[in-house]
Structure 1
Amino acid sequence: MGPQTELVDTPHGVRLEQLVTGAGDPVTVFAHGLAGDIAGTRPLGSAVTGRRVFFHQRGHGRSAAPPGPWTFADLADDLAAVADRSGATRAVGVSMGAASVCRLLARRPDRFARVVLFLPAPLDGTRPAAAQDRLARLRAALESGELRAALEPEVPRDLRDTAAGLAYLRQREQQLRRDGLAPQLDTLWQAPAVPDEAALRAFGGRALVLGCAGDEVHPAAVAERVAARLGAELHVYDQPDVLWTRRRDLRERISTFLNAH
């Protein structure tokens, strides 16, 4: 039997589900994106040394969904609680999770020595139309029960009927049917994720930002803007869907960056 998730208490009273893999130091915390889960972030850390702490953000998995509205300050509180509890010195954030990492760094610029932001969400409170449409599509599919068609855009067309593609769609469908989508998630973008992006210039660690050209939900221009704010290394893939088409390269970039001394 593999590692099991556990529920942990935070100082601010929100119970969060986490999974710890690996052993020793350093410790890296992983924050997934909107409607994502622990399973979706685990491949990003497969070659990262030390302990890896994956957690479900509020409203996902078995993590609590306190009354809204929610802000990115709330997500930063959750992230800080998990990171402080585990002694994490590194962080990996995906989309919404990347924005929560940035909100925490704006508040505590010395909190992490190294961070990786994959497909970061905008920090200024705006959302691409494709991102809004994705959430609306998933909500409608949950209500109608027709989830498979709504999830298929997450898999490249030529891979949807492969064993890997079908397994992914099955896992995602089961996850969303089990966990649903907390209505409070819609309130997150009522205010900027980072009210003063200039505060990110105080970050004294090292950052790697990874974007993809042609990703309508996560425009490459957002990755470029976030990288500039952090003084980060930036790599933009020349096509979207790199979790499917460039997974080995993606994992190597993340692990090489985080494992370096």
Structure 2
Amino acid sequence: MRGFRWPPPPDGGPRTWGPGPGGPRTGRPALPEPETELIATPHGVRLEQLLTGAGDPVTVFAHGLGNGIATTRPFGSGVTGRKLFFQFRGHGRSDAPPGPWSYLDLARDLRSIADLGGATRAFGASLGAGALCRLLAESPERFERLVLFLPAALDRPRGEVARARLTALFEAVESGDAAAVADVVQAELPPAVRNTPAGWAYLRQRLDQLLRDGLAPGLASLPEQAPLRDAGALAAVTAPALVIGCAGDDLHPVEVAEQLAAALPRATLHVYDRPGVLWTERADLRSRISAFLNE
């Protein structure tokens, strides 16, 4: 495999026709970013939100650390009803109140968007799965159906490898050096996708987002925290849940997904045999999520 390099080759970026962001020819997980709105919440933090779809039920989608609306939209492509995508504090155009922050703060963000939008179903990815678990520990009957994708931590902080990767991301974004950010972000891509037009397009989209919006300092301590003190707090959750993990994912150890599925009384666990499922198992993943939520 050719070594990673930045900037990309001349044909490596997204093609653009007309106004607005372009897209790759194939394979990018994130969709172009549409116009969003800022929502005032009861706890005084304005959060960026995108509402799509029509009718009931309503599903709220919570993203991972350093990600946002664009990277969670593909998960809802086959989900019926209205879909609420939002940015946690410190991401995108959402407010960044003085930190540091805890998973309780993130759970408040998630609860506010869900309550204001009337959501009865919830999806959480990575950090968003942790925030969802924190919310469920306090309000176990809040949602009717749950999907938790690649949970990163439950009752223990993230491991050393994950903390080192995230620290490198924070430092690279703070430096404003596109090459340094690209060097960290490219680890999100499966090796077979790197140095392909689709891979470069995804990388450019992620860099545009991170270098434009940055990462608020209040997020830096989250990798050292755990969403829950005791996973047993989830024993009262009554909703059916789908927990999705991946073998070989350093940022999202499969053991966390297994522990979470065991802690939720009505959970179904699905484990993919390799990471990068948005690239390698995209159709199956979207079908699995929509079939479960639409059931």
Task: Give the alignment's TM-score, normalised by structure 1.
Answer: 0.96
**1:158 alignment partner, SS class:** coil
Q: How many percent identity over aligned positions?
A: 60
Once residues 222 and 208 of structure 1 are traced to their aligned partners in structure 2, the CA distance between those partners, rounded to angstroms, is: 14
What whole-Å deviation, never above 9, does each CA across 1:226-261 have from its counterpart, x for those lacking one?
11111210000011110110000000110000000x
In 1, are the aligned partners of 2:63 and 2:69 still within 8 Å (CA)? yes
Once residues 185 and 139 of structure 1 are traced to their aligned partners in structure 2, the CA distance between those partners, rounded to angstroms, is: 9
Once residues 60 and 197 of structure 1 are traced to their aligned partners in structure 2, the CA distance between those partners, rounded to angstroms, is: 27
Range that drifts further, 124-133 or 188-197:
188-197
Range that drifts further, 154-163 or 175-184:
154-163
Match of 1:241 in 2: 276
Aligned mate of 1:115, from 113, 134, 146 = 146
**1:240 alignment partner, SS class:** coil
**1:252 alignment partner, SS class:** helix
Match of 2:233 in 1: 199
1:3 is displaced (CA, Å) by: 5.0
What is the identity, as a one-letter code, of the residue corresponding to 1:225? Q
**1:61 alignment partner, SS class:** coil
Would you say 1:79 and 2:110 are equivalent positions? yes
**1:209 alignment partner, SS class:** strand
In 1, are the aligned partners of 2:163 and 2:223 still within 8 Å (CA)? no
What whole-Å deviation, never above 9, does each CA across 1:55-90 have from its counterpart, x for those lacking one?
001100000111112111111111000000000000
Which ranges in structure 1 are unaligned for 5 or more consecutive residues? none
Aligned mate of 1:27, from 37, 47, 58 = 58
Q: CA RMSD in A?
A: 1.4
Q: Which runs of 4+ in 1 moved over 4 A?
A: none
Aligned mate of 1:212, from 241, 246, 250 = 246
- Structure 1 or 2, whichever has the larger Rg, is 2
Once residues 116 and 144 of structure 1 are traced to their aligned partners in structure 2, the CA distance between those partners, rounded to angstroms, is: 34
1:191 is displaced (CA, Å) by: 4.2
**1:235 alignment partner, SS class:** strand
Which ranges in structure 2 are unaligned for 5 or more consecutive residues? 1-19, 21-32
Would you say 1:127 and 2:162 are equivalent positions? no
Aligned mate of 1:6, from 37, 51, 74 = 37
In 1, are the aligned partners of 2:157 and 2:226 still within 8 Å (CA)? yes
Point out the structure with the larger helix share.
Answer: 1
What is the identity, as a one-letter code, of the residue corresponding to 1:15? R
Task: Give the alignment's TM-score, normalised by structure 2.
Answer: 0.85
